[in-house]
Amino acid sequence: MEVLVLIALVVFLVILVISNIKIVPQAHAFVVERLGAYNATWSTGLHLKIPFIDRIARKVSLKEQVVDFPPQPVITRDNVTMQIDTVVYYEITDPKLYTYGVERPLSAIENLTATTLRNIIGDLELDNTLTSRDTINDKIRIILDEATDAWGIKVIRVELKNILPPREIQDAMEKQMKAERERRARILDAEGEKRSQILVAEGLKESAILKADAVKESKIREAEGEAQAILAVQQAYADALKMLNEAAPSDKVIALKSLESFQKIADGKATKIIIPSELQGIASLATTFKEVFSTDTPKAE
């Protein structure tokens, strides 16, 4: 009988010891109380709890957490009521303060977020509220982070999830947006038409310039051709004179050549020819030679 009681006692002690061995997982912490007072914060690893004396008051997750609060009614400075819901990202930095600092921490954060949001939106008009999300997010985060330090909580960031103005305001905004789109479309069409006309004008201008350049080039080439022809004629004339000078012609030959030149001039449209006096004797001599030669020539029977 005593053996059975001893065995039962040993088994009970083993079970009691095993049941009081606690393992804290990664990214968690256990807040332990001893006789109702805070004793220690267990970090990741193996721990032994004293039976009936120690108690795990709270198991705390050290991971970054996110909480989505329902929409809150807020009023802007220009008396527009809208619904805004927020998303808060936070993490627990001190498990002891988180456990003993505030009752129901998430509810406290929600209420603090709502009041802070009302205060910030109350200083803004509707247009500024819709276009200043980043500013509002930063202001709320700074205020929440300062207030939750005493609770062992660090607010990492705050995001405005949805901003819902009244239905009539949404309709007016949609009409304004539609009018703005139509205005931009008309501006784009006008700019396109303007650009098209500019391109057409530039094309006509370039075409006219190319035509003028072609006419200019044609006239230049024609003038160069005429100049070359004149140079060639002058060169041929110079060569003829040179050859004539090299042949050392007599005065009579020169006189005859002059007569030939006058004959060519006479074939033109001129009605009068003035012959220098020194050439008249030579002309008479040439006429006499012509008559003699024509007389001596026998006639054909």
pLDDT tens digits, 33-75: 999 899 999 999 999 999 889 999 999 999 999 999 999 899 9
Higher pLDDT, 239 or 193: 193
**Of 138, 136, 140, whose CA–CA distance to 148 is shortest?**
140
Q: Which residues pair with 92 in a beta bridge?
A: 153
Residue that is written with structure tokens 């819901």 in the block? 85
10-33 per-position pLDDT tens digit: 888 888 888 889 999 999 999 999
Is the per-residue pLDDT at 254 higher than 80? no
- What share of the chain has pLDDT > 70, as a percent? 80
For residue 26, the surrounding DSSP H or E stretch is none
Rounded to an integer, the average pLDDT of 206-235 is 86
Q: How far apart are CA 194 and CA 196, in angstroms?
A: 5
**Of 177, 140, 170, whose CA–CA distance to 156 is shortest?**
140
CATH class of 65-165: alpha beta
| Half-sphere exposure for 266 (CA within 13 Å, toward CB) | 9
Q: Report angle CA 258, 263, 266 to the nearest 5 degrees.
A: 130
